[in-house]
Structure 1
């Protein structure tokens, strides 16, 4: 059976949607829920652990360390064994990490639990992208990726008001016991519902040859042309949405916990819509002759403008500003179909996981670094950090994003 079938019927498309993408979407839902939940429980963690912005950033960013380090072996595993078995097994590590996080008695234990969660959800997006590359024709990848990533937005939604409401009745440790149970269910759905695709040609390729090909990807100019803009766009978006938006709204916007959770819910809703809208817009523009790269560039430009407004501290609680942030912050996700379209479907798992690895590895430094940079300013009498701390932090993120965009555009001008 070929890796992708451009003549899929409507019934076949429905089969792929419900038997393939939907179970993987459950895993990606959990990935984003775990990634974003600390933005709401941050005050609880700071109170119970007695930590400041620096330690909070490092604790939350531990998720990205194991997530990024596992991307290279993840790509090899996906190409050799397929996304179904790999993702079902990995999610069990996330469930274990949630349990360790729930029973942990100190900062070190929680960091270990958070790291196990990061390892367990490391394949949330890449396994689905591999499945999309196997089951759908290339011209449908951008749309399928965008629609699939809506599940991540729903996970981010679940990490806002629902979590805040749960914390009114349960301790945050009980919340993580529930997340562990949901993760086990997601693992079972993928393993028992998703059909096995016939073995890909790479199953007969030696491990050494696969590793050598990965080395070639890392020295490929096509990879490093697009990697920096993807790193800066997604790292800044995930760092702010997954953690620092909450403290910013409390410190700069003066919102209480309930109002902060409401704005974070708006951000997550816009993020969810943004995934779908980006996929649909890119798909339609591509059909009209507009390349994915051009769509991504304009999205990055508008996102940089949003970062500038956040850094300036102008209307920090304006819902329209946060809606724009949610829609535009993941524009650089288009880098994945752009990059994978330049390689064969059999290589898609490895090249995308390599990109994912450098993106999430940088996100660790971005999220933790934002915390340590904010902590350079002393807290006020009410325990809040001043506006200047966020101006420098978000302003630096905007500057680095624009530099990365200039790097992406430079080869095109030279050509």
Structure 2
């Protein structure tokens, strides 16, 4: 089980990488394929939307056939296959298809780990273990920043993607060989479905927060930080790599902080709520920033992005808050339902913010799109918090 979990974490490192690497490739894909920021926003949004749509079948598969087959097969076919398609892309449409395939491949990895944590470990440890997996897996977030920029400049983006496809296939094979499934609990007449989970009223106040909590940090780190740094501050590939590296480190710190913090405070709900308030304030401050920046102010906005990265890392704590409401035989479908809202929200907001950018580019000053994107994220957080404040906060 330990070796299998290590392989899952390696897979999650790659999953974090694939959801964020487009920001660094912005200049190369625009030059070689004519892909504009709005095109990459759509491709990034497809990754998240396909990933989210896969959570329903993935949840069924985790409960019925177990995490080993689910994770290894999808990661090999979708992850490695999509990375290879990306390497040979000739148009922005090919990038869209490749990102959709990679989204399919990455969809079971984190949830397979959460399924094992829920089945094999004490409930009180869930948020810490879940946060640790995200924290370690977020090394992929770091790898998609400055290291990815270095690899692209040294070897070329196509060659780098071929190498990533090979690494992904190796990890998928390791999952098949070393991973074992938790013991299954057969309960006659208790098969259930996602519809049974949606009938649980306590989840109605948690799901909206899950919808908005991850979308802003994923959107900024995965895409907008690159075009924003380039267009407003004239940042080159290496500078963008440094900006994404700083925000990636902040997201890792947040993943490790939230679990111990909720135990220290004695509340999961209010820790997440406080993080949401801080993130919203950071975006409202970013909204006020001018669109003609100096070399010094680029590090001020980078610091604000880091604040968003730390404060928006409450994903595992929200799942831990919702976990006591799941029937035991619907554990897999429960965690994947929450992940559907989280990743689905990120995908929808990538597409929405892409439309915002397109509108402002066509009708007004293109640089004015960025403050509107930040304002959209700030309002999004406020809407989620207004519902989440009424949620229950069970203790294990």
Task: Return 5+ residue gaps in structure 1 as ranges.
Answer: 1-15
- Residue in structure 2 matched with residue 185 of structure 1 by the alignment: 170
- Residue in structure 1 matched with residue 150 of structure 2 by the alignment: 165
Residue 369 of structure 1, aligned match among 346, 352, 366? 352
- 1:228 Cα offset (Å): 1.2
- 1:392 Cα offset (Å): 1.1
- Residue in structure 2 matched with residue 4 of structure 1 by the alignment: none
- Residue in structure 2 matched with residue 150 of structure 1 by the alignment: 135
Residue 320 of structure 1, aligned match among 290, 303, 313? 303
- Residue in structure 1 matched with residue 61 of structure 2 by the alignment: 77
Q: Which TM-score applies when normalising by structure 2?
A: 0.91
- 1:257 Cα offset (Å): 1.9
- Residue in structure 1 matched with residue 293 of structure 2 by the alignment: none
Secondary structure at the counterpart of residue 375 of structure 1: helix
- 1:360 Cα offset (Å): 1.8
Query: Contact 1:143/1:282 (CA < 8 Å) preserved in 2?
Result: no
Task: Return 5+ residue gaps in structure 2 as ranges.
Answer: 291-296
Secondary structure at the counterpart of residue 9 of structure 2: helix
Bigger mean CA offset, 349-358 vs 245-254: 245-254
- 1:238 Cα offset (Å): 0.7
- Residue in structure 2 matched with residue 279 of structure 1 by the alignment: 259
- 1:42 Cα offset (Å): 1.4
Asked if 1:252 is matched to 2:228, the reply is no
Whole-angstrom CA distance in 2 between matches of 1:333 and 1:144: 9
Query: Contact 2:216/2:377 (CA < 8 Å) preserved in 1?
Result: yes
- 1:255 Cα offset (Å): 2.1
Per-residue Cα deviation, 1:233-269 (whole angstroms, up to 9, x for no partner): 2111111111111111222333222111111111111
- Residue in structure 2 matched with residue 32 of structure 1 by the alignment: 16
Asked if 1:214 is matched to 2:190, the reply is no
Q: Which TM-score applies when normalising by structure 1?
A: 0.87
Query: Contact 2:197/2:326 (CA < 8 Å) preserved in 1?
Result: no
Whole-angstrom CA distance in 1 between matches of 2:211 and 2:37: 23
Residue 385 of structure 2, aligned match among 379, 400, 405? 405
Secondary structure at the counterpart of residue 317 of structure 1: helix
- 1:333 Cα offset (Å): 3.7
Query: Contact 1:71/1:356 (CA < 8 Å) preserved in 2?
Result: yes
Whole-angstrom CA distance in 1 between matches of 2:95 and 2:234: 29
Does the C-alpha gap of structure 1 residues 121 and 245 become closer, same or farther in structure 2, counting only changes over 3 Å? Answer: same
- Residue in structure 1 matched with residue 103 of structure 2 by the alignment: 118
- Residue in structure 1 matched with residue 51 of structure 2 by the alignment: 67
Query: Contact 2:213/2:342 (CA < 8 Å) preserved in 1?
Result: no
Compute the RMSD of aligned alpha carbons.
Answer: 2.2
Per-residue Cα deviation, 1:152-209 (whole angstroms, up to 9, x for no partner): 310100001111001112221111111111111211222222233222326x768xx4
Which aligned pairs between 1:4-23 and structure 2 lie closer than 5 A?
18-23=2-7
Bigger mean CA offset, 254-263 vs 125-134: 254-263
- Residue in structure 2 matched with residue 50 of structure 1 by the alignment: 34
Deviating above 3 A after TM superposition, structure 1's stretches of 4 or more consecutive aligned residues are none
Query: Contact 2:72/2:176 (CA < 8 Å) preserved in 1?
Result: yes
- Residue in structure 2 matched with residue 133 of structure 1 by the alignment: 118
Per-residue Cα deviation, 1:93-128 (whole angstroms, up to 9, x for no partner): 210111111122222222111111000000121111
